[in-house]
Structures are given as structure tokens and as C-alpha cells.
Structure 1
């Protein structure tokens, strides 16, 4: 038997609860993992609360991230006793995920845990830090350097935003943090933000083309915010879009793209191929500030995750939430 958060949808309604499961109930896969830590991401909050139909079949164990030890494997890349981690691949949506003490997965979804990190540290980074690094890599490949000017980060006090600020500042970029939580200004500056702007400056409908304010941006918000980010990006600037906290719509104009040559880079963290995942985690191992990692992270137990998931969607959670599935 093992503990897991289980989401059910039946005549009694939609509900997430802590449950005891048997190993024979695990879905098909060629690697079985004894999970040590998981995380709470925005998508996990949507799944647990049912605020958005991200769960595609029931019952479902949520959790798009996990780190732990291989217990059994028929996959050629992994052996029992090895430490592994997973981000994405529809886990927690269409395949049982990481908010459980055990998981059975496709080995192609896994990578080995970098030696630089413990399982807990890897989950403190999780999909949020991994996505922030994918954004940074995309910007760099498109030619961005610190000399080009300031970089805007939206959703700054969230997981992706916190890591984006930390990584950018560590590499010498001047970072503007956009947040709707002015009380977090000291936290954001401690991570490396040079200045803070109010989320309201970007979250309402704006002009098709605005004053040039930043050379590049990492946006995890979408909707009007992303439209205004593009409108305020300087000529030949770059915008990496990786989230939809405000919405999936994009009420924008082509003006920034055809009049200023702004490039919009879409970041898909869910189905990146193996070599890209390994490269991103190698960069994280080299660039993550361990002091910042401690400042960003909060730890909860498996049952507490049910409550914190709701707080996450209400914008009450700062940084990252690590879930110790064994307490």
C-alpha cells in the first residue's frame, strides 16, 4: 500500500482526496519509482481544485513533477537504485503523477537526477525552474546578451518568475519584475530584480504599440499582459511566452512584430526531447543559486498539498512549494 492524492469525478462530483492505493493499481509503464518529493505547480492547482479541465481521465493522481529512486525497470537507460526526475509529459493529467509515494512511468519521460541536486532540491526547481531555464536558453539562442538592455519578468513572485529573476540576474542581466503583490518587493530584489513595476500596468487592455521599455521578456501570464509586454518591447527584442495565468487569449496587434521586429518565442516545457531536458538541467546545475533556492522554497506534506493548491490559484503562494510525499 502507498499514499497518494487521488482525483475522482463521478455522481458525487469532482473531488481530490488523500487515499491508500495498492501497487497493482499503478498504470502501465516500464519504470517504477519510489517517489521522494513532488511539487505544486499552477497546473497541479488547476487539477486538484477542478478550476480548469486539465485532468483527462479518472481516477487521476496529480503531480506533473517527481523525483525519487528507481525500484524496477525494463528500460535500458535506468536501473534499480538510480535517482531520477520527471517534468511534464502529461503526467498528472492523462497518466498518474508524482503526488504519491509510488509512480509507474515510461522511461523515455525520465532523466537521471543531476549530481548537483538532491531529490528535494530538484523538486524545489521543478517544472517552474526548468521552464524558466528553457526560456533563458531560447532567448540566448536568439542572440540576447546582458548588453542589449533590461529584461522584464511577469508573474514575478510565482515559481517561474522567481527562477527567471534569479537566473537572469546571476548571468548579469538587469531585471524588471512585474508583480501584483507589492509586499514582495524585498523578496524580488533579494533574488536580483533591479526594479519593480505594478502588474496593473500590463494586465489591462493597452495600445497596439507602446513606448519601448525592455529589450526582452519572460512571460508566464498570457492574455492582456503578454499583449502589453510585446507592445512595450524594444526594436528587435525578444519575448519568451510560457504560461497562461491570466488567460489563453492573446488580444494583441501585429504592430510589434512588423514595425519593430519583435520575436515571440513559444516555450513548450511538456514534451521536450530527452537531450533538451538533459541540457536544461545541466544549465540549472551550473546556474542555480543555492541561497536563492532556499529563499524560494516552502515544504509541505502530502495532505497539506490539498489546501495549498487552492492558495496557489488565489495568488497567495510565493515561489515554490515542495511536497514531501512521505509525510
Structure 2
């Protein structure tokens, strides 16, 4: 296979020098793998913003091409599962942190990391979902596996205007759940209602008054999807109904939280860790079929905050770390 050079966003760190910029690469610069992909779309996730920051601490070795997800077309394969022309999705594993990721016109990955594009999604739609939508779907699957049913009561979604939160609101509503969305952005209530939220509460409603450390409060939520973590998590745990669960997938609100054992031993509350990075292949395929099927949001396009090209990534990436992005920013790679 002979191909000309191609463009990629490369992050490099050498001694005290840190650089983020577009470079020309060749096929031999790509890591080993049995499937080569022409990347059509990627997206901007919180971890991508961290990868492009000197103190982000998510990159294992430099130089790196960030982009923890991608959608594109197979151009070469020695893997029996994939043939030239297949349209695929890749999220998680080591993409964008230890292996060159999606911010590149071409990528090379192990075939076992790939999922076939489901019929219900275009490549662009697959990246409107991307890692954020997959994380929301995995959260739903874990909640349902732990007993959540439609009639159980309201389901709380924290950080509801973010990528995971937006998809969680829309997917839960599509599946018939009563969704309460939490946000600190009063200007985004119409957006959340459009996604299917029945109730909207402010972020401050989940923060107890200073000095209030009650281990249990009135039961409110049948379950919660929390991509935020931090100080609000103990309050959420103290208000989940008997036997309910909290699916925790993020740390935008902080990596530590004070808690007690009481919600767990007196109400049987479950705290479910959601890891979309190393999710087993069979479950990935199932969840992507649901994302493109019965859980596909009716207003998927409404979640797109913007679309950027590779050249715009150095300026676009820092915004997600500031918490000012609504929904999803997708990257049109090639």
C-alpha cells in the first residue's frame, strides 16, 4: 500500500517544551495494528482537552495524536473480521492516550477494538454520540441490569448540558424514563426540555448547606447518571431511593468526595463505576446497536455545539476544560 503523507494533530512534550499543532505524517509513523482506517469524524471529549494540556496527566508517552474516538472507513486490513470499505467506530482502549487516536486523517488500530457502524447511524452521527454517548448508554445498561425500570420514578442526570449528560437525558427520555436534569446554566433549560427532560433543577440544589453532613435525606431519585463526581455525589447518594443506583462516569466536579456508609447499608444503594475505556467487545457491539436503534435520540443534531476541522483543534480543545461547551463538538477529519 502506497499513500502520500497525511495531516494529524500532534501533541509533543520534550523537557520544558510543550507543543500542539498540525503536522504531516506518513504511514510508517502510525503504530502497529492490523487495520488501517481513513478517519472521517472524531469528537472533542474532556480527556482530549486534558491530552492537549501540559499538566493533563492522561498521555502515557509523547508524541501523541489525541482523539479518544473515531469513525471512518477501512482502507487496509489483515484482520479476518474487517475488509476494505467497511465503516467502523472505535472508542476507548488506548486511543489518544497511549496510541495515536482520531485527530488524524489515517489511523491504525487492532481490529479487535473496532465495532461495525450500526445501520441506524451515519459516521457523523456516530461521532455526535462518540465516547460521550457510549458512556451514557453504558450507564443506562448498568442501571437497568441493577433493577431500574420505567415505573421506578425519576432518574437524575447531573452535568446535563455536557456530552455524557446530554446523551443521558435524551436516551433516558427516548426509553420512556422520567428525567430530571441538573445544570448550572439557566440559559439552557429550553435545550434540555428539547432533549426530553421533564424537570430541571439547578446545580446548587444538589449541594447541601455548609456544615450539613446528613448521611441520609428524603428519598427522591430512582437512579442517577453522574458524569460530574466531586462534592455533589454524597448529596445524591443520600437522596437515592431504596435499592436505587448511581452510575458514576466522570470527575469534572473533582476526583474526591466525602461519604458515609449509610446509603449503602440502610437503603441498599449501589454506586456503579462506569468504565467505557475497557468495556468488553460483545457489550460494545450491543450498546452501539442500541444507540443506533431504540435509544437513538430523536433530536440528535440538537446536541451539536459545533463542527471543527483539524486546523481549528488547537483553539477548540481548551474550551471543554472550562466547562463552557454545551452538548458535543465534532471534528470533521477528512
TM-score w.r.t. length of structure 2: 0.94
Superposed, 1:292-311 pairs within 5 Å as: 292-297=299-304, 298-311=306-319
Q: 1:207 to 1:5 in 2, by over 3 A?
A: farther
Structure 1 CA distance, aligned partners of 2:307 and 2:240? 36
The answer for the alignment partner of 1:150 in structure 2 is 154
Cα deviation, 1:78-127, whole Å, max 9, x if unaligned, reads 11111111010021000110011010111111111112211111011101
1:208 aligns with 2:188: no
Q: Secondary structure at the match of 1:303?
A: helix
1:56–1:94 Cα contact (<8 Å) kept? yes
Structure 2 CA distance, aligned partners of 1:145 and 1:199? 25
Give the C-alpha shift of residue 200 in structure 1.
2.1
1:86 aligns with 2:90: yes
The answer for the alignment partner of 1:277 in structure 2 is 284
More divergent stretch after superposition (53-62 vs 191-200): 191-200
Question: Which of 239, 250, 265 is equivalent to 1:258?
Answer: 265
The answer for the alignment partner of 1:64 in structure 2 is 68
Give the C-alpha shift of residue 238 in structure 1.
1.2
Give the C-alpha shift of residue 289 in structure 1.
4.2
Give the C-alpha shift of residue 51 in structure 1.
4.3
1:222–1:243 Cα contact (<8 Å) kept? yes
Q: Secondary structure at the match of 2:225?
A: strand
1:99 aligns with 2:115: no
1:183 aligns with 2:187: yes
2:175–2:295 Cα contact (<8 Å) kept? no
Q: Secondary structure at the match of 2:20?
A: strand
Give the C-alpha shift of residue 48 in structure 1.
1.3
Alpha-carbon RMSD: 1.4
Structure 1 CA distance, aligned partners of 2:20 and 2:134? 27
Give the C-alpha shift of residue 290 in structure 1.
5.3
Give the C-alpha shift of residue 291 in structure 1.
4.1
Superposed, 1:43-54 pairs within 5 Å as: 43-54=47-58
Q: Which runs of 5+ in 2 are unaligned?
A: none
Structure 1 CA distance, aligned partners of 2:54 and 2:198? 37
Tell me the matched-pair count: 326
Q: Secondary structure at the match of 2:292?
A: helix
Structure 1 CA distance, aligned partners of 2:175 and 2:28? 47
Question: Which of 315, 326, 333 is equivalent to 1:318?
Answer: 326
Structure 1 CA distance, aligned partners of 2:60 and 2:207? 30
Structure 1 CA distance, aligned partners of 2:298 and 2:271? 32
Structure 2 CA distance, aligned partners of 1:203 and 1:58? 39
Give the C-alpha shift of residue 250 in structure 1.
2.8
Structure 1 CA distance, aligned partners of 2:284 and 2:254? 27
1:152–1:175 Cα contact (<8 Å) kept? yes
The answer for the alignment partner of 2:247 in structure 1 is 240
The answer for the alignment partner of 1:196 in structure 2 is 200
Structure 2 CA distance, aligned partners of 1:61 and 1:107? 19
Cα deviation, 1:222-269, whole Å, max 9, x if unaligned, reads 121222211111111111111111122132111110111111111111
1:49–1:309 Cα contact (<8 Å) kept? no
Q: Secondary structure at the match of 2:201?
A: strand
The answer for the alignment partner of 1:228 in structure 2 is 235
Give the C-alpha shift of residue 22 in structure 1.
1.3
1:224–1:252 Cα contact (<8 Å) kept? no
